[in-house]
Amino acid sequence: MQLLGLIRETGSISAAGRAMDMSYRRAWLLVDEMNRLFRLPVVESQRGGKQGGGAVVTAFGETLLARYMAIEERMHAVFADDLDWIAAQRADAAAEVPPTPAPRS
């Protein structure tokens, strides 16, 4: 979904891939896989022109991205306390946060 969002922003599979530090081939293969996974295309390539073409996220791709982001937002809202606890347990977290004991069964 991050790649899809970057394609929307940049208008380019290549630029989106570079932004994620991945090769054009890897980005193109992921786009191809997304397009094969769904009944409708997610990204369409545009060839030619002065800039050499580009890519556009389709209307279906926009809806897919919006729904995914909504799911992610709801997930974060539901699990915010647990996600915060996990983040506090990381080795690079502030030293003054004491570890929370595991619940007893």
- Give the tens place of pLDDT for each residue, 1-24: 999 999 999 999 999 999 999 999
Q: What is the pTM of this model?
A: 0.74
SS3 at position 46: strand
Q: Provide the greatest CA pair distance for the chain.
A: 66
- What is the mean pLDDT of the segment spanning 91-95? 74
The pLDDT of residue 94: 64
Handedness of CA 59, 41, 49, 7 (dihedral sign): positive
Domains observed in the chain: 2-88 (1.10.10.10)
- Residue appearing with tokens 């991050």: 2
Query: Is residue 92 pLDDT above 60, yes or no?
Result: yes
The total number of residues written for the chain in this structure: 105
